[in-house]
Amino acid sequence: MSKLFTLGDVSKQSTDKGGLIVIDKVVYDITDYMSKHPGGDDILIEVLGQDASEGFHEVGHSAEAIEALAEMKVGELDQTSAVLPKSQSRTGSVSVAHLLSAAGVVAVSLGAVFLRHQVQSPFSSGSK
Ligand code: HEM
């Protein structure tokens, strides 16, 4: 079974000197290849630690390039880490619900203060 990496792992295990990139959910260690890349190492430094699928496909790399890539495979992207934004948005809606209930509590408290004020008013005007 191949090793699983989250996008966080890929980023943490990379510097501007070398490390990992993701292409189509597969993780590659390109450290030794960077100086040999026909397209130069600058472009690879830019995508180190990230998902480079878009850039890789835009260039329209040859079959040789894809073969060379296969030799650098170290693992696969953890698919559960890719759905993280969804669970974050769920947390977001929970806090909206919390805000609404907090607003409800404030409204009820204000109502109570208002009612008490109404009840006390006759006394305070009477003592003047
Ligand atoms: C580690 C993965 C990669 C491998 C093995 C690889 C391999 C190659 C090879 C063999 C070539 C020569 C042309 C060809 O055979 O297609 C090439 C050219 C090039 N590559 Fe990559 N490449 C990789 C990643 C990338 C990435 C991620 C980018 C951009 C974000 C990129 C951009 C380029 C560019 C701009 C050229 C020059 C094309 C030209 O001069 O016409 N490469 N690459």
Q: Residue 111: is its pLDDT beyond 90? A: no
The residue whose CA is least distant from atom 26 of ligand 1 is 56
**Ligand 1 neighbours by CB, cut-off 6 Å:** 28, 30, 33, 37-39, 43-44, 47, 52, 55-56, 59, 61-62, 64-65, 68-69
Distance CA 12, CA 83 (A): 19
List the one residue out of 72, 65, 70 whose CA is nearest residue 19.
72
| pLDDT tens track for 67-96 | 999 999 999 999 786 555 444 444 445 555
The residue whose CA is least distant from atom 35 of ligand 1 is 39
| pLDDT tens track for 17-46 | 999 999 999 999 999 999 999 999 999 999
Position 87 scores a pLDDT of 45
Is 0.90 surpassed by the pTM of this model?
Answer: no
List Cβ neighbours of 80 (8 Å cut-off, separation of 6 or more). none
ipTM above 0.95, yes or no: no
Distance CA 62, CA 68 (A): 10
Secondary structure E strands in 8-125: 20-23, 26-29, 73-77
